Amino acid sequence: MPQPAPSDASHGPDAAEGEAGTAAVTPAESTADDAADGAGWVSGAEGNELVFRYADPEGELTSLRLWQDIGVPGDQLDFSRVDGGWELRLPRPSVHRLEYKLEGVLGSGEHWSGLDPTNPNVVGGAFGDKSWLALPGYQVPAWTEVESVPWTVTDHRVEGTPVGDVDLMVWAPEGAGAMLPLPMLVAHDGPEYALFAGLTHLVGAMVAGGELPPLRVALLAPGPRNDRYAANPDYALALTGSVVPFLRETYTTTGDLVLVGASLGALAALHAEWNHPGTFGGLVLQSGSFFTPETDPQESGFEHFAEVTAFVSQVLAATEPPSTPLVVMTCGATEENVHCNRVMSAHLAEIGLDVDWSEHPDVHNYTSWRDVLDPRLTTVLQRLWRPDAA
C-alpha cells in the first residue's frame, strides 16, 4: 500500500530548500551517460574534501554550479573546467549528509538544473528530488528497514473552521476500528511528514516491535500554509476548537494528544498550545520558525514576519508557561534556524517546561527531521503513553 501523498500547498519561507526557476532543458543524453559510465567521473567524499565531477566531453555547458543549502559561500560553488568535464572541490562541511543539485548554462544560453548523474542516491522533498551524498559515519536510521504493521488510512474533511475546511487523514493499524481506544499523534504537514520523513512508517515499525503501543496518527494537510501556520490565531482556534474535537468525537482516544511540526508547522504547534493550554500533552518541534529580529533579520521580508516575531516575543517575555506539555525540540546544527531555536529552547526550560533539546549535523529538510524522530519522538510518546518503557 503506498504511503499518503503530499498536499499541494506551499511550504513557507524556510520550510526546506528553495529553488530558483530554470528552463526545462538538459544537456544531451550522451553527457549523462558519459558521466555515469566514465572512469573517474564520480562525486563523493575524498579525505577532507567533497569532490563533485561532471563529464562534458563535447563542451555543451558554458558554466556549472552547485546548488546546496548548508551555507557554503556563493563564490565557492562554481565548477572549474577540466579535461573532459567539470570539477568542484570543497572543504568537508560539518554535516553528515548533503543534498544538492547541479545548475548549468548551455552554449545556447539556456539554463539547466538537474540531479548528479554520477550519484545514484536521490531523495524526495516538498520541492522535488535532489541528489545526496553520505559523509563518512552517516547511517540511515535502522527503523527504515523494519517492516511496519499493516495499516489503513481514512480521509476526512473538517468543514467550517475559522480558516475554512481542514483536510486530514487518519493512519491506524489495520483492524483498529474507530471505537477502539488508542492514543493519537497529530502532525502538521502530515502528508509530507509521512511521505518524506517516514513518520507513519516509523510508528508502524515501532508498534510492530513493541516499542510503541498501537496508536493513530492524524495527518493534517497544511492548506494555505504560510497564512495558517504563521502564528495565526484563527488557525490555532480551528485546530483546538474544531479539528481536535472532531478527532476525539470520531475516534475513541486515550491519553494526551501529541502534536509534531517542523519549521512553520512547529511554530504553529507552540502557538496553538500557548493560546489554548492543555490541548496537547506533548509538542515535538523540529527546526521551528521562532523568528526574532535579532536572530533572523534575513526573514524580515516574509509576509507574516511581524505576526511571528510578535508571538515569539510574547513567549520570550513570559515568566511561566500557560501549560506544561512535554517539549521536544530538534534542529540542524548548521541551518539558519538553529539560533532562534537555541534561544527558544533555553527560555522554555528556564520558565519550567520539560524540554528535550538536541542539535544534529544536518540542515532544514525532511530527511534531517526523519533521522532524529527516533529516539526524540518515540521517547516522548513512551513517556506519555507507556511510562514503564520510557
Chain Cα centroid distance, residue 2: 20
**pLDDT classification of 374: cutoffs 50, 70, 90:** very high
CATH number at residue 354: 3.40.50.1820
Asked if residue 108 and residue 71 are part of one domain, the reply reads: yes
Q: Is residue 10 in a domain? A: no
Taking only the tens place, the pLDDT of each residue in 277-317 is: 999 999 999 999 999 999 999 999 999 999 999 999 999 99
Helix (H, G, I), strand (E, B) or coil at 218: strand
Segment 1-27 mean pLDDT = 35
Residue 171 and residue 4 in contact, taking contact as beta carbons nearer than 8 Å: yes
Q: What is the DSSP letter of 304?
A: T
What percent of the chain lies above the pLDDT cut of 70?
A: 89
- Helix (H) or strand (E) holding 268, with range, is helix 264-275
Helix (H, G, I), strand (E, B) or coil at 324: coil
Asked if residue 292 and residue 205 are part of one domain, the reply reads: yes
Asked if residue 102 and residue 247 are part of one domain, the reply reads: no
Q: Which residue has the cell 566531453?
A: 57
pLDDT of 15 higher than 70: no
pLDDT of 107 higher than 50: yes
Asked if residue 192 and residue 117 are part of one domain, the reply reads: no
pLDDT at 39 (0 to 100): 52
Domain of residue 34, residue span: 29-134
Asked if residue 115 and residue 180 are part of one domain, the reply reads: no
User: Which one of 77, 109, 134 terminates a domain?
Assistant: 134
Q: Is residue 267 in a domain? A: yes
Asked if residue 121 and residue 167 are part of one domain, the reply reads: no
The chain-wide mean pLDDT, for the chain, equals 90
pLDDT at 1 (0 to 100): 33
Pairing between β-strand 216-220 and β-strand 164-173 as defined by DSSP bridges: antiparallel
Q: What is the DSSP letter of 75?
A: G
Taking only the tens place, the pLDDT of each residue in 17-44 is: 333 333 333 444 333 343 344 456 899 9
Partners of 259 in beta bridges: 186, 283
Asked if residue 70 and residue 101 are part of one domain, the reply reads: yes
Sign, CA dihedral 375-378-381-386, equals negative
Q: Is residue 34 in a domain? A: yes
Nearest to 215 by CA among 5, 389, 378, 2: 378
Taking only the tens place, the pLDDT of each residue in 127-181 is: 899 999 999 889 999 999 999 999 999 999 999 999 999 999 999 999 999 999 9
Residue 350 and residue 315 in contact, taking contact as beta carbons nearer than 8 Å: no
Residue 169 and residue 152 in contact, taking contact as beta carbons nearer than 8 Å: no
Taking only the tens place, the pLDDT of each residue in 318-366 is: 999 999 999 999 999 999 999 999 999 999 999 999 999 999 999 999 9
Provide the number of structural domains found in the chain.
2
Asked if residue 262 and residue 158 are part of one domain, the reply reads: yes
Asked if residue 179 and residue 161 are part of one domain, the reply reads: yes
Query: Long-range contact list for 312-318, CB < 8 A, 24+ apart?
Result: 312/231, 312/267, 312/340, 312/344, 314/274, 315/270, 315/274, 315/290, 315/344, 315/347, 315/348, 316/292, 316/343, 316/344, 316/347, 318/351
pLDDT of 2 higher than 50: no
Asked if residue 379 and residue 273 are part of one domain, the reply reads: yes
Asked if residue 112 and residue 76 are part of one domain, the reply reads: yes
* Burial status of residue 275 (CB atoms within 10 A of its CB: 0-12, 13-18, 19 or more): middle
User: Which one of 91, 110, 134 terminates a domain?
Assistant: 134
Give me the amino acid identity at 326: L
Q: Which residue has the higher pLDDT, 14 or 89?
A: 89
Taking only the tens place, the pLDDT of each residue in 177-196 is: 999 999 999 999 999 999 99
Pairing between β-strand 282-286 and β-strand 326-332 as defined by DSSP bridges: parallel
pLDDT at 355 (0 to 100): 98
Asked if residue 164 and residue 116 are part of one domain, the reply reads: no
pTM reported for the whole predicted model:
0.87
